[in-house]
Amino acid sequence: MKRICMKVALLLVALLGGIGRPHAAVVFEAHSPYHHVQVIDDGGIRLLSFNGTQETRMSLANPLLGHFEYTEFFHAPWVWNPEIKRVLMLGLGGGSIQRAYQHYYTNVMIESVEVDPVVIKVANEYFQVRETPTHKIHQHDGRTFLQRGRETYDVILVDAYTRSRYGSSIPPHLVTREFFAQASARLGTNGVLAYNVIGQLQGGRADIIGALYRTMKEVFPQVYLFPASSSLNVVIIATKSPVPYDYARVQREGRELIRSGKVKLPTFATRLRAFQNVTPRNASVSPVLTDDRAPVESLMRGTGFSD
């Protein structure tokens, strides 16, 4: 009898869930001061949605799978610093990167900074992002956090842009020369910054990627690009080390990290093959972004004005 009841209940749940959208169920929904936050389970994948667009994907069967390809570029800083101990991550979302770092690099101390308290709660309850002795979460604005702190990090990861039906947007105070100078001040001597953004890598018009590349070049001696193959995401990597790395060097360091077991991410070698050390074509026509002038709205809409 009990079993039949269970089966009926499961059937009902399946039927009810299937009425609106087949296979998709909203398991959490809230309006935070920043986003319309939804958690949606869809065919074994859990999605974090801000304002109707996907922010994080996670496999329910294995939380280490299902994530977006670009999040794996955040492992690339190991190439430049094989002794990473402390990582600061601005932007939590569903915590794909935090989950991976906690799993693969158990000796690394991570601090996450997320401005939206609802996102922190959702990451904890639905995406297995926990505060542990090696992972601390601060509810704070990323820039104010950088400015007020003293400790230095080996790596700073920035994933702070959001999307809506009208396109991507990026907080204007997290793209400027002054912001990168503050980030650089919080990085150790061999520090690496990795920055996720969406935009055009090719094309002759002013664009957020060209602008960020130029702006980061003003602060960091070396800047590299990792464009994703399955989306328009590009992870820009900047190093405090002035030593230039070429494609062969990156692959060689990558093989060494895999061989020594320092990096166990199965797709690491594949991801490193996305490496580019060329200046994006639109960098010359895109402005250097400053606190005084950071027209991110038009740059992210392909209507940016040349310098």
Partner 1 sequence: MLKTVAAGFVFLGGFAIMVLEIAGARYLTKDFGGSFYIWISQIGVILIALALGYAIGGALADHFKRAAFLAPLLAVAGLFTMLIPNFTPPLLQAIVMRHPLDREISALWQKLDPALGSTLVFFLPCFVLAILSPYMIRLAARRLEQVGTISGLIYACSTVGSIAGVFVSGYVLIDFMGLSAIFRATGALILVLAVVSLLMDRWMGNSVEPLKS
Q: Does 149 bind partner 1 (CB under 8 A)?
A: yes
Q: Which of residues 2-41 bind partner 1 (CB under 8 A)?
A: 33-34
Residue 19 one-letter amino acid = I
For partner 1, give the closer residue by CB, 66 or 172.
172
Q: Which of 57, 86, 121, 138 binds partner 1 (CB under 8 A)?
A: 138
CA distance 142 to 58: 24
CA distance 78 to 190: 11
Q: Which of 59, 202, 229, 298 binds partner 1 (CB under 8 A)?
A: 298
Please report where in the chains the tokens 């990627």 appear, as a residue: 209
Strand pairing report for 222-227 and 135-139: unpaired
296 and 172 in contact (C-beta within 8 Å)?
yes
Q: What is the size of the binding site for partner 1 (CB under 8 A)?
A: 30
For partner 1, give the closer residue by CB, 120 or 228.
120
Nearest-Å Rg of the Cα atoms of the chain is: 20
Contacts of 299 (CB under 8 A, 6+ apart): 199, 206, 207, 208, 211, 286
Q: Does 173 bind partner 1 (CB under 8 A)?
A: yes
Q: Does 150 bind partner 1 (CB under 8 A)?
A: yes
Q: Which of 99, 143, 214, 240 binds partner 1 (CB under 8 A)?
A: 143
Q: Does 176 bind partner 1 (CB under 8 A)?
A: yes
Q: Which residues bind partner 1 (CB under 8 A)?
A: 33-34, 115, 138-144, 147-150, 171-174, 176, 178-179, 290-293, 295, 297-298, 304-305
